[in-house]
Amino acid sequence: MSGTDGEVGTAPAEYAKVLATGGPPRRDAEFTAFMAEHAGDLRRTAWLLVGDLHRAEELTQEALARTYASWGRAREGDALAYARRVLANLRIDTWRRRRREVLTADVPEGSVPGSEGRAEDRDQLLRALALLNAKQRRVVVLRHLVGLSEAEVAADLGISVGTVKSSSSRALAMMRAALLSEGGPR
């Protein structure tokens, strides 16, 4: 008998399949259905928060995993709101800087007449969003892009309604100034 030191280095010949007991329980069936219905919405919100599709998908998967980890609690209320709250409170600081490249990769539009202008429009807006700090960006995205009420945003982010209002106001002012400096929103 020996410890593992001499064992682990041995090159394995074949992999066995690892199986798990039972079929998907009700909890998993519910969550799978939830994912199928809402993953796209959550990814969309994540993209607005971070401006990069790859990062957005990572964040969404993490938010879904955390939601699944607390599915019993999440499903008692509005599970989508729960997942969105988890998503919004993940780290979104790593805003990707190469925005134009990302956008081009996300939504190929080269053959669509006028698409250059729309891409420029989005690029300009995303640059303006990138100027905001994480909290301001969360507020702007949830309040003005996802369309939540101030009270809902406050609940999602764990801040007061007054903070939502002030953060939103400051954030919009910053964005307005940024957009104006680039010739104004199109």
Partner 1 sequence: MTGNDDPTLTALQRLAAHAPDGAWEPDAPAVMRRGRVLRARRTAGAAATGALVLALAIGVPAGLARHTGPEPVGLPTTTVTTANPTTPAPSTPTSVPTGALGGVPPTTEVAADPYGFVFALNKPTASATAVTANVADELRVTVSPTGSSSVTVAFDASAGHGTSSSVAVTWTPNDTASDYSGAHLYPAPAFSAPVQGTSMWYSYLIGTVPSWISDPTVALYSDYGWPLPDGTTTHAATVPTFQAPTADGRRMFVLVVIGPGNLASAFLSERQHAIAFDGAEGMYLPGCADQTDPGACVSLPWAQWGTQQRVQFVDWPAKH
Site for partner 1 in 41-60 (CB under 8 A): 43-44, 47-48, 53, 56-57, 60
Pick the binder of partner 1 from 50, 55, 66, 82 (CB under 8 A).
Answer: 66
Report 19-38 residues binding partner 1 (CB under 8 A): 19-26, 28, 31-32, 35-36
Question: Does residue number 39 form part of the binding site for partner 1 (CB under 8 A)?
Answer: yes
Q: Write down the least CB distance from residue 36 to partner 1, Å.
A: 7
- Do residues 86 and 63 make contact, with C-beta atoms less than 8 angstroms apart? yes
DSSP letter string, 158-186: T--HHHHHHHHHHHHHHHHHHHHHTT---
Rounded CA-CA distance 70/92 in Å is 21
Distance from chain centroid for Cα 185: 24
Length of the chain: 186
Does position 62 interact with partner 1 (CB under 8 A)? The reply is: yes
Candidates 30, 61, 96, 170; binder of partner 1 (CB under 8 A) is 61
As a whole number of angstroms, the distance between CA 58 and CA 123 comes to 22
In the window 75-134, what residues touch partner 1 (CB under 8 A)? 106-107, 118, 121-122, 125-126, 129
Cβ 113 to partner 1 shortest distance, Å = 16
For 74, what's the count of Cα atoms within 13 Å in the CB-facing half-sphere?
22
| Near partner 1 by CB under 8 A: residue from 69, 101, 112, 169 | 69
Among 120, 135, 172, 182, binds partner 1 (CB under 8 A): 172
Structure tokens at 141: 């995205």
What's the number of CA atoms in the CB half-sphere (13 Å) around residue 40?
3
Indicate whether 2 belongs to the interface with partner 1 (CB under 8 A): yes
Phi and psi, residue 148, nearest 5°: -80, 160
**Binder to partner 1 among 50, 55, 64, 132 (CB under 8 A)?**
64
